[in-house]
Amino acid sequence: MKTIGSGILSWIKHAVQEYNEELYQSMYHEKDPIKKTFCFAPILPKPKFDNNQIELSGNYIQIIFSFYNYNYAFRIYNSFVGQLHKKFHLNRNSMTLIQAYILPEEDIQTTKIKIKLSSPMIVRKHDRETRKDTYYCFEREDFKTYLNINILEQMKAEGLDASLLDGFEIKPIQAKKVVMPVYEKMIECSIGSFELVGKKELLNYLYRAGMGAKKGLGFGMFNLIS
């Protein structure tokens, strides 16, 4: 079983590699699990899920990307622009980029925000010895522990100080556990709305880079809500 996210990922890889091989290798080296400092969320027109298929009410999707590093963002954006009006074949289907534009973003000036996840959030515990992964939704006891670990791993990729995470809290407002297919695995995730408390620099970072694991597959993006 494959997800919408895996199809989008195939297109991203194609766009970036065609644009710049060095950039592609920095993002998708074959052997190294490179942390992605961006996230994305697909917006589907009235999707209906039926076994291994997703039926849409229209023949289009929208994809919103968010980046922490602006230089990196513009290079990725330029790779997307290079794919305008080019057909990308995907199994028995295809997709074509017809428009790309830059959206405004907010600057967080408080230490407490309310968010709504645009794409499910994955929190992962990785055992280096057994190479096995365990996943935690917000209901599980160790959810916050491993979310913090995931965030710290993200921050290392950007050279950010671990002390930014001091005092960070996450509280569910109207949240729900879901189980999502990620390649051949079924993984528990969290969706819905949450309250985040932390340093402004951290909240702005998470707002732009996303939160949790597997963000490069279309997880962990959120919007601000009032």
Name the pairing type of β-strands 87-90 and 93-96.
antiparallel
Sheet holding 169-182, edge to edge: 169-182, 185-197, 112-117, 222-225
Type of residue found at 118: S
Chain segment 134-165, per-residue pLDDT in tens: 999 999 999 999 999 999 998 988 889 999 99
Cα end-to-end span (Å), the chain: 36
Same structural domain, 27 and 126: no
Residue 166: Cβ-neighbour burial (10 angstroms; 0-12, 13-18, 19+)? exposed
Q: Are residues 121 and 92 in the same domain?
A: no
Question: Among residues 49, 72, 96, which one ends one of the domains?
Answer: 96
Nearest-5° Cα angle at 36, 59 to 135: 85
The reply to whether 19 and 45 lie within a common domain is: yes
pLDDT class of 183 with cuts at 50, 70, 90? confident
The answer, yes or no, to whether residue 177 has pLDDT greater than 90, is: yes
Give the pLDDT score at 1.
35
Query: Which among 62, 96, 130 is the end of a domain?
Result: 96
pTM exceeding 0.85: yes
- CATH for 217: 3.30.70.1900
**86/139 same-domain check:** no
Token pair belonging to 43: 């917006």
Kindly state whether residues 193 and 138 are assigned to the same domain: yes
The total of other beta-carbon atoms located within 10 Å of residue 42's CB is 18
Residue 102: inside a domain, yes or no? no
- Give the total number of structural domains in the chain: 2
Residue 189 resides in a domain: yes
Whether 57 maps to a domain, the answer reads yes
Burial class (CB within 10 angstroms; exposed 0-12, middle 13-18, buried 19+) of 217 = buried
Judged on CB neighbours under 10 Å (0-12, 13-18, 19+), 93 is exposed
**Quick one: angle between helices 70-81 and 4-19, nearest 10?**
90
Residue 104: inside a domain, yes or no?
no
User: What pLDDT does 49 receive?
Assistant: 65
pLDDT one-digit tens code per residue, 62-111: 999 999 988 889 999 999 999 999 999 987 888 999 999 999 989 999 99
Per-residue confidence band for 4, with pLDDT thresholds at 50, 70 and 90: low
pLDDT tens digits for 8-46? 889 999 999 999 999 998 888 765 556 677 899 988 777
Residue 101 domain-assigned (yes or no)? no
